[in-house]
Amino acid sequence: MRLWGIRGATTLDSDTREELKARVAELAGQIQRRNQLEVEDIVSAIFTTTPDLVSSFPAAWARSVGWSKVPMLCTHELAPQGSLPRCLRVLVHAYLPGPPQHVYLRGAKVLRPDLVEGEDNDES
């Protein structure tokens, strides 16, 4: 087992607590499933949101789906002109036996196609 960084991102249609909760749950679940990851193997997670997402803390919702003992941090992402709006990103540090499967969902698939080439990232 080696310590790896797993990247993930998704977008929201609107800045509501309910939608943020759903997107965090979806993203965390896909990261765990695609990497066959147990919560105990997660060392830490850093969530970022674009400045147009202010309804809630992503880490609060990650705790609600089982990441309650994972040290997490939330912060805002830089938002240069023309950047992807309403975007939630995460960097998860975890012990895995091999290279991670990065997870980009919804509108965030355009961010890093080089990291997910050939992967099943078809969630709408």
Task: Mark whether 89 is an active-site residue.
Answer: yes
11 assigned to some structural domain: yes
7 is known as an active-site residue: yes
CB distance 26 to 61 below 8 Å: no
Q: How many domains does the chain have?
A: 1
Active-site residue, 112 included: yes
CB contact set of 109 (below 8 Å; sequence gap of 6+): 116, 121
Contact 10, 88 (CB under 8 A): yes
Note whether residue 62 is domain-resident.
yes
In a domain, 118, yes or no: no
Q: Decide if 2 is catalytic.
A: no
Which of 18, 19, 38, 63 is an active site residue?
63
pLDDT digit of tens for each residue in the chain (124 aa)? 999 999 999 999 999 999 999 999 999 999 999 999 999 999 999 999 999 999 999 999 999 999 999 999 999 999 899 999 999 999 999 999 999 999 999 999 999 888 765 555 444 4
Q: Which structural domain, as residue segments, surrounds residue 102?
A: 2-108
Instruction: Spot the catalytic one: 7, 34, 86, 106.
Output: 7
Domain with residue 34: its CATH number is 3.30.1330.40
The question of whether 86 is a catalytic residue gets the answer no
Catalytic residue among 19, 74, 95, 119: 74
Is there a domain that residue 51 lies in?
yes
Alpha helices by DSSP H, listed for 1-124, are 17-34, 58-64, 113-116
- 117 in a domain, yes or no? no
